[in-house]
Amino acid sequence: MATSVAALGLTGAGIATANPSEPMVVNGCEIVPNPTPGEHTTCPGADLSYRDLRGANLRYANLERANFHGSNISGADFTDAQLRRADLSNVVADNTNFTGADGTLVVIYRTSFDFGGVVVGDFNITTGNESPVPRVNPNVRTAPPAPANPPPIPAPMPVR
């Protein structure tokens, strides 16, 4: 029987206080209790934004391209999780475990990580210029691109 966490919201007690032996469903994503390498949460591309995921056991989870924007993931366990291209912007991540997680091209803009208590172990973080929403500032003007083959500089004129 799945238990809904929608009522918890960001002011709720977090997933850790729910029955850890029952699966939880968060916006259509089933969080598997007591995950193993063979049976774990599989929600690539899930929208988990603005959710209370405190204490969630997401070991081995496949959360590639998942959107955690604005969520509270404090105390969550992402050990050996796949987080490629996940959006971790604006998250609260106190005492979160990322040991062995793959964070290739993870989006962490506007995120202030307080690494006190956060376990990163061998978390593979690489970032790119990618963002789920392109940000354009209309007040910034860029210089035109330099020509591929600029004209030669003429030799100075002899002085007489």
Q: What is the mean pLDDT of residues 113-117?
A: 55
Residue 45 lies in a domain: yes
Q: What is the mean pLDDT of residues 122-133?
A: 50
Residue 26: strand, helix, or coil: strand
Place of tokens 């603005």: 50
Q: Cα dihedral sign for 118, 106, 69, 38?
A: negative
Q: Cα dihedral sign for 118, 120, 126, 131?
A: negative
Residue 80 lies in a domain: yes
Q: What are phi and psi of 30, to 5 degrees?
A: -85, 120
- Give the residue numbers spanning the domain of 101: 1-132
Residue 150 lies in a domain: no
Q: How many domains does the chain have?
A: 1
Nearest to 59 by CA among 6, 28, 26, 96: 96
Per mean pLDDT, which range of 40-49, 55-64, 124-133, 149-158 is the poorest?
Answer: 124-133
**Range picked from 2-6, 126-130, 146-150 for highest mean pLDDT:** 146-150
What single DSSP character describes residue 113? -
